[in-house]
Amino acid sequence: MVVVSHNRVALLRRSLESLEKSEGRETLQLIVVDNGSRDGSARLDADFPNVQFIRLPKNFGLTKALNLGWRAADADYVLFLHDDTEVEPRTVLGLADVLDAHADAVAVCPLLVDEEGRPAPQLGSLPPDGQWRPAEPSGEEPQPVRYARGAALMARVFFVKAIRQIDERYGQFGSDADLAAQIIKAGRKILLAPRLRVRHRGKRGYTPAEEADFLLGRAVFMQKYRGIVAGVGARLAAILGPLAGLRLGQLRYTLVGQKIDGTQA
């Protein structure tokens, strides 16, 4: 299990508390990749001695943190989690059971639910448009989905190794879309397991830097899967859209292609 966190110590604590209650916890490796938090997250290791913490000096974005996490894991499967998730006790081993039973699937996700237990926004479109809709599973058996949000996603490590790594041209956004596209390209499946649940809070808003990071990530996706002309068009849209809307905070970043970690896309 790999949890990525940045400056959300209260949410991270709740996430880890839920994971510590997982069935078969003694057999599970739990890794937290802390993206340069300054809010006291570094002190959580005293409360969670059986958790491995990887502490980064600054926020390198979600994608790089995910890669550091799965490389540190010693397992056939890795469950990627955001720090605003809470996992039910049977979920982790249940997801592994689904992959054990379905050789044609290389990833599986639980049903994301909100605080009231209702399906939460989870499924997206390719190319990514930043919009999510709740899953509407037909029955309780695992069923294929095209693109599931990376807030809670278990993948076969051999597949991530086969594509070398999650493409680090993405910063905070785009890694889950790219993984979904790679799975489709390989003719394999992502399954949704409706019987297994993870509570997901989700963010209600994003900073201009995060919004710009999404637009830049979408341009990377378009060029990679639709060609250079589509990529250039998406990159221009990432500049002209904020300019036309006078979203100068976004424009500041998209104009130079600056990702969350300060590098350029």
List domains and CATH numbers for the chain.
2-200 (3.90.550.10), 208-254 (no CATH)
Q: What pLDDT digit, counting tens, does each position of 57-112 carry?
A: 999 999 999 999 999 999 999 999 999 999 999 999 999 999 999 999 999 999 99
Which residues, 6 or more positions from 85, have their beta carbon under 8 angstroms from its beta carbon? 3, 15, 18, 151, 152, 198, 199, 200, 201
pLDDT at residue 265 is higher than 80: no
Dist CA 237 CA 233 (whole Å): 6
Q: What pLDDT digit, counting tens, does each position of 171-218 carry?
A: 999 999 999 999 999 999 999 999 999 999 987 788 999 999 999 999
Cis before 49 (ω within 30): no
Determine contact, residues 172/259, Cβ cutoff 8 Å: yes
Dist CA 205 CA 257 (whole Å): 21
Label residue 114 exposed, middle or buried (CB < 10 Å: 0-12, 13-18, 19+). Answer: middle
CA distances from 71 to 62, 156, 186 (A): 14, 12, 22
* Window from 42-51, 111-120, 255-264 with minimum mean pLDDT: 255-264
Q: What percent of the chain has pLDDT over 90?
A: 91
Dist CA 32 CA 20 (whole Å): 13
State the average pLDDT over residues 17-25: 97
Residue 87's H or E segment, with its range, is strand 85-87
Instruction: Work out the mean pLDDT of the chain and round it to a whole number.
Output: 95
Dist CA 248 CA 229 (whole Å): 26
Locus of tokens 């990377």: 220
